[in-house]
A and B are shown apart, each in its own frame.
Chain A
Amino acid sequence: MSKISHDKVEVVIIGSGIAGSTMAAELGEAGFNVLVLEAGPERQLSDMISSQIWSRRLRWAGPEVLETGDLVGAANFAMGWGTGGAGLHWYANWYRLHPDDFHVKSLYGRSLDWPIGYDDLRPWYDRAQTYFGVSGDDDPNAPPGKAYPMPAIPLSKQSSAIKPGFDAEGLELTTNTLAINSVPHDGRAGCLLDGWCDAGCPIGALANPLVLQWPRARKAGVELRHNAYVARIETDTSGSIATGVVYLDQQGRENLQPADIVISACHTIWNARLLLLSSSDKHPDGLGNGSRTLGRYFTSHALTTIHGLFSQETEPHLGVSGANTLCLDGYDNKQPAKGAFGSRAWLVGQAAKPNDLLGTALAKPELYGEALDDYLRNASQHYGNMTVLCEEDSIPDNRIALDPSKRDRYGLPQAHVDNSLPHANADRSDLAKEEGLRIFKAAGATDAWAGPRNPMHMMGGTIMGDDASASVTNSFGQVHEVDNLFVAGASLFPTPGAINPTATLAALVFRTADYIRTHRSELLP
């Protein structure tokens, strides 16, 4: 069957989530002719219905991911589907990686190093927080940077109940840093603290692509094409120049979209998978895989939630889905005990409704019947929680691969993610769990318990590096073997630290956009 051909564009971006939409707006405003291809449907603010049940329609509905290993299960929950991608239901926790996170191999002889350091990224973090609009106070345990544009969201009743536990443990609990307006800002409303963030924020207090990037991108003339599932990146006969992409439309027809510059920004798993799917005689193992590292060094964060019931009322349904307060105290101690390795961060006081994965009912999955009803009536007034994120070492065995034995709905090999937490990181996670239970008990919780260890966030798979024989891209996300092919997103991270990745992802996007802008004449024919 012949492909439907389209007019050539200067830049084609695959994915309309936070990475793709930010890149699109930046390059559009720089005068590039930009097209964004989004696999899912068009979304409107009216799709952001305040309901945990209805919000599931915003989540991933693309091809299945096969997940194996002992730290899996995050894919469908974390990814988005449609305009704005996961940016429509993200939690807006906004943190910078710490200086040591960029040099783990050099400092500790394990995991990897980044090709850049904190000082390289610091101005881009500053730029990103201004662009997104971040609320937060100065935190002595966070890396240095520009003051946040807005004051922090005040302490919630949940945090107030938990804080004495941190005090007793000698740890500093601070206000959180969030890409959520604490006050009206930049033409967007201030947060009402009603706890519906992960169902989407139609008032735009939480920085989501529908209110932030897309108005700018559209004004700059960026075209957004929906229901366009990119199946491969094409290269010329030399294999050194990307010529465009092939995508499948809603009717399953193949479309050829030529472009001078191709940017893959379709989330960690799909960035790696797309390069793997784009093999050719010049790139038999996938584009950018001369180093044999494509798909490898996948990482996540090992997450454990501490749950508790308090005698005082905590109003758990209020606040933000991300976290009300934060503890980075002790983050820089990556070797807290013999045999244990990795940073950890506490995110405290997440708004919780009764249902869904992070709801109060699933905090005690063993309860049913009258016991469940009694618990929920108590938890609705007295529940508190906090979540610890722990670092996972970057190791080559944790990887994204193609499973040729299974085909997805488009007839393409299924994505397979295999991720197991290295032993030293598991020990670190266990220490954090014990710390969390001590904190809740010291805070006076009448009942405190820990949930199971789960993954949160997905990073790596197309890691950046200076050495083309050991990485997929350079520090700008430019694929080593194909100069006009870029990757954007957390798949570039050589190491994950122990904090939510979006601020770093955004900082890298601004840095890459600036690189493309300043190298325009070299990149465009």
Chain B
Amino acid sequence: MFGRRRFLTRVVPIAFWTSFIMRSLSRNAEAKTIENESYKILTTTEAETLGAWCATIVSGAGQARVARFVDESLAGDQAASLLLLRYLDASDMARFYRTGISGIEKECRHRFGMSFVRATATQRLEMVEAAIASKMQVWTNPNPNFFYFISRSDAVDVVYGTQAGFADLKIPYLPHIQPPKPW
């Protein structure tokens, strides 16, 4: 089996078109998986958008079920939340995410006339780069740059911050107490 690094550095440059098809199939499969799941706070569409957004920022975030990670924490009380957002703005975390997801959609429709999940890889990257550069055209609230920061952290959590993520990065986990589950 290929590790993520080998996949990205060797296979992608050699057979970009193949990978594009694979990613499209994967995205469709991922969307179907999402459709089959019920969310507690986010709608299926919101979860799909958030998952696609995070997967653009961190490869593998969709498969790592980042939207589910966010949704489950939003459904509990603040004390049980596993989200990094609780450090920085815990006043209404569900509204933060829902407004941010709405901002992604609004901006994407303004720029490209389609929802984020239907946007091409290039269009998605353009959106992320606009968030980093604080150059969104119609999305203002919550601050797109801050939303990028938080959603990127969520994606990093589920992809790199688990025992499997550590192993993939070749970092010995060395726990005193094992996490009962990744999140």
Contacts and interface: CB of A to CB of B under 8 A. Distances in A.
B4 interface: yes
B112 interface: no
B161 A356 contact: yes
A354 B161 contact: yes
A441 B77 CA distance: 46
A41 B172 CA distance: 32
B88 A76 contact: yes
A203 interface: yes
Given A56-B82, A73-B88, A357-B84, A369 B125 contact: yes
B50 to A, nearest CB: 15
A57 B79 contact: yes
A54 B82 contact: yes
B38 to A, nearest CB: 23
A46 B87 contact: no
Interface residues of A, number: 47
B5 interface: yes
A53 B162 contact: yes
A49 B169 contact: no
A196 B170 CA distance: 17
A56 B84 contact: yes
Contacts, number: 143
Interface string B118-162: 000000010010001000000000000000010011001100111
A237 interface: no
Interface stretch (B29-37, B41-49, B96-104, B174-182): B174-182
Contact of A50 (B79, B152, B171, B177): B177
Given A64-B91, A354-B171, A51 B78 contact: no
B177 A355 contact: no
B86 A59 contact: yes
Given A57-B80, A76-B86, A77-B87, A49 B180 contact: yes
Interface in B11-27: none
A374 to B, nearest CB: 8
A40 interface: yes
Given A61-B79, A194-B176, A368 B152 contact: yes
B122 to A, nearest CB: 12
B5 A61 contact: no
A373 B157 contact: no
A356 B160 CA distance: 11
Interface stretch (A272-280, A281-289, A376-384): A376-384
B119 to A, nearest CB: 15
A354 B176 contact: no
Question: Which of A194, A370, A377, A381 is packed against the most chain B CB atoms within 10 Å?
Answer: A377
Question: Which of B56, B125, B132, B174 is packed against the most chain A CB atoms within 10 Å?
Answer: B174
B115 interface: no
Nearest to A52: B161
A202 interface: yes
Given A76-B88, A368-B57, A355 B149 contact: no
Interface string A338-355: 000000000000000111
Contact of B156 (A81, A194, A317, A354): A354
Given A48-B177, A73-B88, A202-B176, A377 B79 contact: no
Interface of B: 4-5, 8-9, 56-59, 77-84, 86-88, 90-91, 125, 128, 132, 149, 152-153, 156-157, 160-162, 165-166, 169-180, 182-183
Given A192-B176, A354-B171, 10 more contacts: A50-B178, A52-B161, A53-B179, A54-B82, A56-B84, A61-B78, A194-B174, A317-B174, A353-B161, A357-B84
Question: What 6 pairs across the A-B complex have the smallest Cβ distances?
Answer: A355-B161, A50-B175, A61-B79, A194-B174, A354-B160, A51-B179
15 contacts: A49-B177, A50-B175, A51-B175, A59-B87, A61-B77, A61-B79, A76-B87, A195-B174, A196-B176, A354-B160, A354-B166, A355-B157, A361-B156, A366-B132, A368-B128
Interface of A: 40-41, 46, 48-54, 56-57, 59, 61, 64, 73, 76-77, 81, 192, 194-196, 201-203, 317, 353-357, 359, 361-362, 365-366, 368-370, 372-374, 376-377, 380-381
